[in-house]
Every structure is written in structure tokens, then in C-alpha cells.
Amino acid sequence: MSALTGPDVLSAAERSAVEALVFPLADDEFVIAERYTEWQVRAPTLESDLALANVAQDEFGHARLWYDVVADLGYDEPELLFEREPDEFYHASLCALPFDAGDWADAVVRSYLYDTAEALRLGSLAGSAYAPIANRIERITTEEEYHREHATTWIERLCVDAEGRQTVQNAVDRLYPYALALFEPGTPEQTDAIESLNLRTESLPSLREQWIETTSTFFESIDVSVPVVEPLPEDPGRHDSHVEAWLSLYEEFTRTYRELDRAHTPTITSEHNDG
Amino acid sequence: MTAEDPCPYPSYEETADGEMPVPARGDSATGIERRVFEALETVEDPEMPISIVDLGLIYGVSVTDAVATVDLTLTYSGCPARDLLCETIEARVERLDSIETCSIQLVWNPPWSIDMVSENGKSELESFGVSVQ
């Protein structure tokens, strides 16, 4: 049973720790879903087109569940998405990197790297002291398993010949350092608050280590090498710089809102009480 | 959400005999709560066209001072029918004479699964062409 039952019982410090934890989760899901949708009607087969569209839909759903948690703290949807400044988003740059035209290996490798990290992250939140976080985990986790199945099946399929394996290798070389930034913490004060309140029950360095172990074992099993990853890229996202392409993605997803001059938008977040 | 809500973030624990109390079908509900369930029985999920009560989306109903609180889950987190379902539920429940407001609380735990469909719902889905066995 989580000690912190809902928004009404949070002190100002607890509330700020919940926000520091949840915004990066929500932003990762939202931004990677935005990128995945670019594959609609462009994936290599109709089946994979539908599968990736479904993965994107799931990630939008998970973004909605996480944004609901902060919406219950008093934010509305324009503040959360359409009127937030681009440098106030906290996703890791893995989620925002553009796809090169036709580079399907990038899509499936990115999905594998991201979803493996997400599974670990969800595990570290299942015992969260904040009930609205803990209560969401099983729902989200059950929807994540087939994402990894889809990604690993495609990676293995691409690796049946040398040319395909090279496209996977290129994607791993490019994406792996950005994926590691998924485990970048916020400020030391935020990390201390998140961990001392038991909002997350495992540290990011520990999750990072498990992620490296799992992903390295998988890639080695299909003769794909994992690059040396230090230092991190200069534009890893989170609280550091975002990749340049993030700005154009941001312009794109906020465009309709701006052009219609919407003072009020139909919401991705719920107007209803949310548990 | 108001401070007097008895349990703003319900988590549904197993009862002493190991049964989950959800989904709620209203079998033992009486009076106005029974009528709220009857109103909910008229709402169908757009993708699985049976009542949301048979589908197992209702986790609880309570009525206090003409305010009906409905605990609702969805079949999956990305369900695009969320607003449609919520608006339909509110309209149907608020149509009842002794209800002024219907307040929906979205809940996610335990996650909905096909096991939550009632026997009646399963046979209706079968006749619609969806196998749930």
C-alpha cells in the first residue's frame, strides 16, 4: 500500500519530487510516439505499419496516463503540451532523433532500446510510495511486452544476412549513446527527493547497469557489437541540450494548436478525476 | 476532487476469501445505486459492442447527496474512446431523477483483462463474432 495516497496529501516538496519524476516519463512517451507516427504508411510491410502505429498508440496512451498524474497537481493540457516551451521538455534525445528516410533498422532498434529501458523503469516504480504512480504500472507493463517482441523479431529478421546486419549495426552505433541518456538523472536535489521519498525504488545507475547487460547480451547473440559509450552525446536531452531536430518536431506537433488559435483544446489528459 | 472523498485513489485489494471485488456488476446494489447500474448498462463500448457493465469496465458505484461516483477503467491505456465513454456515462447517469452530478474516477488497477467480461457479455461477443474463450 503506497504511503502517499494522492495529490491532496502531498507537501510542496513531495509534489515537486513527483513532478521531477513524472515529467521525463511522460515526455519520453509522448515524443517517441510522435516520431513513430512518421512511419505510418511508410513501414516495409502493411503488418509492420499497423504494428508500429499500434506501438505509437500505446505510447500516447502511456503519455496520457503520466500527464494525468501531473494534471491532478493543477496543470492543464495547454500548459503540459501545447504552450510549454520546447526547452522545458525533459525527454531523452533518443525519443526525438529524426529517422533517415527508409531506415527501418533505426525504428526497430530504437524501439528495442527504449522499451527495454522502459520495462526496467516500470519495475522500479511498481512499489512507488505515490499511489497514482504505482497504480498505473501493471496496466502499462502488460502493454509493453509485445513492443519488445515486435522489435526483437524484426532485428533478428534483419540480421539474417550481412547487409541487413550492417543496417542494424549502424543503428546501434548511432542510437546506443543516446539511449544511455534515458538514465540521466535530474538535479542532485531532485534525485535525492525522489529516492528518499521512495517514489522510485531503484537508482538510475542500477537500472542503467541492468539495461547495458540485457541489451549487450542480446546484440552479442546476433553478432552485433555494442559501441563504447563514454562520454554521452553533447545533446542527450533531459535537463541538458536537446537535439536540433527536436525544435522542428515541436513546431510540427504544436502547429495546429497555434494556427487554429485555440484557447481551449480537446484534451489528451482527463477532465475526470483520475486514480 | 474534494477533500471529503473517502478514498480518492482506490486500490482494489483481494477480499478475505481471495476474490477480487472488481469489476462491479451491481448485482447486490439497491435503490438509487441499482438505478445507476441500470443506466450504465445502456452504455456500450464502441469497439466491443456490449454494455460497459458486462464488459467489466465498472469498478465501483456510490451515491452520496445526489452525486454519483463511478469508478471506470478502460480496456487499454491508449483507448481513443475515453472522452466519448465518459461523456455518455455522465449524460445517462445525470438523466436519473435523483442524480444531479455524475463524477467519473478513472482507475487502472487491477488492469482490465478479457477475464473481466461477464458470461452474458461473452456470449453476446460470441454472437457478434468475437471469440473470448
- Per CB-CB distance under 8 Å, the chain B contacts of A274 are 105-106
SS3 assignment, position A169: helix
B117: closest CA among B71, B17, B48?
B48
- Per CB-CB distance under 8 Å, the chain B contacts of A275 are 8-10, 71, 105-109
pLDDT at position B4, please?
39
Confidence bin at B17 (pLDDT 50/70/90): low
Range picked from A185-189, A210-214, B3-7, B19-23 for highest mean pLDDT: A210-214
Confidence bin at B2 (pLDDT 50/70/90): very low
* Smallest CA–CA distance from B90 into chain A, residue: A272
Write the residue in B9, B106, B110 that is nearest to A6 by C-beta. Answer: B9
Strands B58-64 and B67-72: antiparallel
Write the residue in B77, B86, B110 that is nearest to A58 by C-beta. Answer: B77
Residue A253: domain span = 7-227+244-259
| Residue A270 lies inside a defined structural domain of this protein | no
Residue A63: give its domain's CATH number: 1.20.1260.10
- CB within 8 Å: A8 and B105: no
| Residue A34 lies inside a defined structural domain of this protein | yes
pLDDT at position B71, please?
97
d(CA B59, CA B95): 21
CB A243 within 8 A of CB A96: yes
Paired with B58 in beta bridges are: B72
- CB within 8 Å: A1 and B106: no
pLDDT at position B9, please?
52
Residues 5-64 of B with CB under 8 A from A: 8-11
Task: Please check the confidence at residue A263 and state whether its pLDDT lies above 50.
Answer: yes
Query: Over the stretch A241-260, which tens digit does the pLDDT of each residue have?
Result: 999 999 999 999 999 888 87
Task: Please check the confidence at residue B130 and state whether its pLDDT lies above 90.
Answer: no
pLDDT at position B93, please?
98
Q: Tell me the shortest Cα–Cα distance from A61 to chain B, in angstroms.
A: 4
Write the residue in B8, B104, B113 that is nearest to A5 by C-beta. Answer: B8
What angle in degrees, to the nearest 10, is found between the helix axes of A131-158 and A12-36? Answer: 30
B13 burial (CB, 10 Å; 0-12 / 13-18 / 19+) is exposed
Cβ contacts of residue A140 below 8 Å, gap of 6+? A62, A65, A122, B77
- Per CB-CB distance under 8 Å, the chain B contacts of A268 are none
d(CA A35, CA A95): 7
Task: Please check the confidence at residue A179 and state whether its pLDDT lies above 70.
Answer: yes
| Residue A114 lies inside a defined structural domain of this protein | yes
| Residue A232 lies inside a defined structural domain of this protein | no
- CB within 8 Å: A132 and B103: no
| Residue A13 lies inside a defined structural domain of this protein | yes
| Residue A166 lies inside a defined structural domain of this protein | yes
Query: Over the stretch A139-162, which tens digit does the pLDDT of each residue have?
Result: 999 999 899 999 999 999 999 999
Write the residue in A62, A131, A272 that is nearest to B104 by C-beta. Answer: A272
What's the alpha-carbon Rg for chain B, to the nearest Å? 15
- CB within 8 Å: A58 and B78: yes
| Residue A273 lies inside a defined structural domain of this protein | no
d(CA A19, CA A190): 9
* Smallest CA–CA distance from B2 into chain A, residue: A8
| Residue A50 lies inside a defined structural domain of this protein | yes
Confidence bin at A228 (pLDDT 50/70/90): confident
Joined grid coordinates for residue A273: 478525476
- CB within 8 Å: B76 and A65: no
Task: Please check the confidence at residue A268 and state whether its pLDDT lies above 70.
Answer: no
Phi, psi of A101 (to 5 degrees): -55, 125
B79 alpha-carbon distance from chain centroid: 15
Q: Which has the higher per-residue pLDDT, A64 or B49?
A: A64
- CB within 8 Å: A143 and B77: yes
Range picked from A50-54, A233-237, B39-43 for highest mean pLDDT: B39-43
d(CA B10, CA A126): 16
Task: Please check the confidence at residue A193 and state whether its pLDDT lies above 80.
Answer: yes
Cβ contacts of residue B114 below 8 Å, gap of 6+? B132
- CB within 8 Å: B110 and A138: yes
Report CA torsion sign: B26, B112, A125, A132.
Answer: negative
pLDDT at position A97, please?
97
Q: All domains of chain B, ordered by start, with CATH? A: 31-127 (3.30.300.130)
pLDDT at position A68, please?
96
Query: Over the stretch A67-80, which tens digit does the pLDDT of each residue have?
Result: 999 999 999 989 99
